[in-house]
Chains A and B, each alone.
Chain A
Amino acid sequence: MAVQHAPAPPVQFQTSPSRYRHFQFQVQGDLARLSMNVQQFEPQREGYELKLNSYDIGVDVELADCLQRLRFEHPKVRTVVVTGSLERVFCAGANIVMLRSSTHGFKVNFCRYTNETRLAIEDASDKSGLRFLAALNGTASGGGYELALACDKILLVDDRNSAVSFPEVPLLGVLPGTGGLTRLTDKRKIRRDRCDVFSTLAEGIKGKRAVEWNLVDAIAPLSRWDEAVAEMARSMAAGTKARGEQGIELESIEPEGSDQVASAYGPLERTRWRHLDLSISRSARCAELTLRLPERWETTQAQALSAQSGWWILRALRELDLCLCNLRFNEPNLALVLLRVQGNPKAWRDTDNLLAASTHWLVRETRFFAARVLKRLENTAKSFYAIADQHAAFVGTGLELALACDRIYAKDDEQCAVHFGVTPMNAGVLPMSNGISRLQTRFLGTPEQASQVLAQTEDFDTARASELGLATFAPDAIDWEDELRLAIEERTSFSPDGMTGMEQNLRFAGPETMETKIFGRLSAWQNWIFQRPNAVGERGALTTYGTPLRPSFDTQRT
């Protein structure tokens, strides 16, 4: 069967509860309830129906938005019940027809984004003490069960019928690739032989056996389902504290204008946001992403709090997050992003002092969000160069942005004000997905170098950044433009797959965590399987699923 690639409309990443189509979201006191109610006939693009609460990117964007709002808009909430609105079905996972009719690049991006969303659940639990209860009111299969696995506790209805299952391997010849296999072994710590049996049993496991195998935490009969959910949610709430009283509203972020600008490699289409410029040249396959530090900024906690979601750093992070998502999904051919941070470095010092020290919930949430955005950047399949030229301010959190990039180009020119600097934010407050700081990761074999960088109390220039091991290259004024041009042209000439693979291997030196395993092992294998004839060939399992044909496999083990 021929795979059809439906022309995809751009993915929209901005939404808000009043616009949710696929979720019912309610907050009552310290309890939030998020009920999946996927609209069958409202897929993100044409060509498939979202049956049985199966999801696509449009559904996941709403879930991600909701998680974000829980953290900023609802600090009183202690427990979140994640459940389904359909009878007998919680969620059937990612939509198969959608996957089958997607380009490979879209599939990988979809998988990456949904993985980030599930990790955001665990981040909210770990950092903010929000407790998530997956209340499985019916069968949770594939991605549905993976969503449940991301929650703190799983309660499954015991109607002698509803099960949790991973039918991917036996039915589709692919993996439960949204963290499923890793969370079975590393989070729920289920024996590998049982994981093996469970992951090959299409119909899954239900009832007492599911509890015995630790696939779920508890089961409850239908007649006392609501009661059991409420009880479990209450007891989970008892183990955690509300973060605050009054939330802030996350304002909608829209671009403030767009225009065309000239550049060394031709005209760029520039979109201006309040704190960011994103300029794109599709012909050069290059983008320039520039964070412009504000001229006036909040210097005290009181000012930050009263600015609410207009607090410059929060707004800038949200804009950056949105741009990264757009670059991934809606600009698939761009190869390279030149990242600049420009402005008064004092803005970083004041802001970071607040971010690093404050115990106020809103400031903490902003700090945790900064960590997530940096990870989003590192999980983006584009090359990133940090460019330190005129007015560069890679200080503190700004320095983290540079350290998240694959290379740092710094102009060594007395006429050019380049600021590097460290703040407490560089000392482990913004860990990478490997659990350690970017400086620790960068200087894995020479930890004293990391200490040396952290010991810098003042801003420093390109020469010093070079000595400290921060600048990859430090061309002088004469060489600068040519060096940069060559670096760009070279980068965009490489195989995109080679780049993605290489970067993903180089970015995460050091220890493994569940998170790095999910992206580096599970997703990577999944992406390989997704390309193989045994999955997507003419008689591959994913191609033939739901058709009259049986899959036929190339039996050679790789």
Chain B
Amino acid sequence: MTGIDYSQKIPNNVDLASDKRLQRALEAWQPNYLEWWNSVGPTDFNTKDVYLRTAISAEKDGWAHFGYVKMPDYRWGIFLEPRDEKRTVGFGDHFGEPAWQQVPGEYRNWLRRLIVTQADTEPASVEQQRLLGHTAPSLYDLRNLFQVNVEEGRHLWAMVYLLHTYFGKDGRDEAEELLQRRSGNPDHPRILGTFNEPCTDWLSFFCFTMFTDRDGKFQLLALAESGFDPLARTCRFMLTEEAHHMFVGQTGVARVIERTCQVMQAHPDKDVRDYGAIPLDVIQKYINFWASSSTDLYGAEISSNSANFFRSGLKGRAYEERYDDHLALEGSYAFENLVDGQLVREEVPLRNAMNEVLRDEYVKDNEKGIAYWNRVCERMGNPFRFRLPQRRFHRKIGVYAGGHFDLDGNALSQAEWERRQGDWLPTAKDRAFVQGLMQPVTTPGKSAGWIAPPAKGVNDQPADFLYVRA
């Protein structure tokens, strides 16, 4: 062996130092990972010291260790929540059986597919966001961007750990391919559509971390219930980090709103654009776009895959313990199906509707974020109120992809959709305007004119803290 001190290089709680098979796999993979980071990550900032949080143990507070670090030297660790020896499968046909510590052969392919699909989103978002560092509205935001990026990188590691440890050669091949697909590449795109959407301005970034990372949260919650214990434990640990990403999104959009409200207050009856702020209705359009695109990520409303994953104990519901019935064999789920252009109320067996059950939780959570933004308007005395588009709006996946709907979910003709979509989704002009505002601000404590400064520093640091230094 090469004599690498694994616990130093790769902080972990999986006894990497004595696992020869895993060492071998990761040694082969790690150089390719770094190459990936150096070619499609935030490469122009690799030599900067960034004030980052690193997870160094799975103990309480172990996940939040702050200090300056150059991103390529970030210690991408592998952490699983400590094992509960008595844990049992919490749902599906294997309910009550001891949780699996090894992959059941019967479910190997499904499980691998689930892990690969989740894993694919992690590097994808880093790729989508790779150029944003050049236009960060403040050092605080720049640092948050990089924090999100390195943590997505760590999540990739966590998933690759599972592939390497439990899925043999196929797992290693899949891990390799995770580094080969590229967001937005026409030849080998990332698996899920939203992760191929360009994310080139900061309003998009905030919306992405708000809505798309929130999908991540609910996928992780569902996988954290998995009967395959190592997956469940990995996901639970990832959830703490995911929460921070959504914080970045929710407060980011809130600060943009706050700034616009300030300008509107100071210059009533004027176009806020003239004062370098983003109109509230344009912000609403960005919300409409990212919320709808992220709503797609839950998949089809009626899905045999979701039924299979649930019955086999691989992917549960978010907060499964809150439900009384963990078999979900009896109930049904009613939803509006789109049949030949008409919305028709239909009941489907509950297990086949698990995607929709998870989407329900997601929509509820999004509503809370919207309410948070509306409180900003309220506080600023602005009558504008934001809204979440109805889930049928602007869908590319599932039954509603077969029609057109307005923000309230009312069906529209193709022609009407064509005519009105510019009222609801960012137009080329909107995008050009937002893009035009994107100028970097690197003076400590200063923020760009289109966004209010943060309420509070990272790790209680002062407002003019040097989060990123040369």
Contact = CB atoms under 8 A, between A and B. Distances in A.
Contacts of A170: 109
A309 B352 CA distance: 52
Given A41-B339, A160-B177, A160-B181, A548 B352 contact: yes
Q: Choose among A202, A223, A547 the residue with the greatest number of B CB atoms under 10 Å from its CB.
A: A547
B181 A550 contact: no
Contacts of B188: 158-161, 221-222
Interface in B151-203: 177, 180-181, 186-189, 191
Given A41-B339, A41-B340, A548 B186 contact: no
Interface residues of A, number: 19
A160 B339 CA distance: 32
B351 interface: yes
A7 interface: no
Interface string A525-558: 0000000000000000000011111100000000
A360 to B, nearest CB: 47
Interface string B293-326: 0000000000010010011100000000000000
Interface string A281-324: 00000000000000000000000000000000000000000000
A545 B93 contact: no
Contacts of A548: 307, 310-311, 328-329, 349-352
A375 B186 CA distance: 46
A201 interface: yes
Interface string A499-535: 0000000000000000000000000000000000000
Interface in A38-66: 40-41
Which label, helix, strand, loop or mixed, suits the secondary structure of the A interface? Answer: loop
Nearest to B310: A548
Nearest to B329: A548
Interface string A200-211: 011100000000
A218 to B, nearest CB: 15
A546 B304 contact: yes
B311 A201 contact: no
A303 to B, nearest CB: 50
B368 interface: no
B270 interface: no
Q: Report the contact-size class of chain B (Cβ under 8 Å from the partner).
A: 20 to 34
Contacts of A203: 109, 113
Nearest to A159: B188
Nearest to A546: B304
A142 to B, nearest CB: 14
Contacts of A550: 93, 311-312
Nearest to B339: A41
A445 to B, nearest CB: 51
Q: Choose among A170, A545, A548, A550 the residue with the greatest number of B CB atoms under 10 Å from its CB.
A: A548
Given A41-B340, A160-B177, A223 B351 contact: no
A221 B311 CA distance: 37
A161 B191 contact: yes
Interface in B244-281: none
A546 B303 CA distance: 7
A547 B402 CA distance: 23
Nearest to A549: B311
Contacts of A547: 304, 307, 349, 351-352
A546 B307 contact: yes
Contacts of A546: 304, 307, 352
A159 B189 contact: yes
Contacts of A40: 402
Contacts of B312: 550
B339 A158 contact: no
A158 B349 CA distance: 36
Nearest to A552: B93
Interface string B334-376: 0000011000000001111000000000000000000000000
Nearest to A547: B349
Interface in A182-203: 201-203
Contacts of B109: 170, 201-203
Interface string A212-243: 00000000011100000000000000000000
Q: Choose among A158, A222, A550 the residue with the greatest number of B CB atoms under 10 Å from its CB.
A: A550
B349 to A, nearest CB: 5
A203 B109 CA distance: 8
A542 to B, nearest CB: 12
A40 B401 CA distance: 13
Nearest to A39: B340
A550 B109 CA distance: 16
A53 to B, nearest CB: 14
Nearest to B306: A548
A54 B177 CA distance: 29
B186 A223 contact: yes
A41 B340 CA distance: 6
A550 B189 CA distance: 33
Contacts of A545: 304
A554 B283 CA distance: 59
Contacts of B93: 550
Interface in A130-180: 158-161, 170
Contacts of B402: 40
A159 B185 CA distance: 9
Interface of A: 40-41, 158-161, 170, 201-203, 221-223, 545-550
17 contacts: A158-B188, A159-B188, A160-B189, A161-B188, A202-B109, A222-B186, A222-B189, A223-B186, A547-B307, A547-B351, A548-B311, A548-B328, A548-B351, A548-B352, A549-B311, A549-B329, A550-B311
Nearest first, the 10 closest Cβ-Cβ pairs linking A and B are A548-B351, A221-B187, A546-B304, A160-B188, A41-B340, A548-B349, A223-B186, A222-B186, A222-B187, A160-B181
Interface of B: 93, 109, 113, 177, 180-181, 186-189, 191, 304, 307, 310-312, 328-329, 339-340, 349-352, 402
Given A546-B352, A548-B329, 7 more contacts: A161-B189, A221-B186, A222-B186, A546-B304, A548-B307, A548-B310, A548-B351
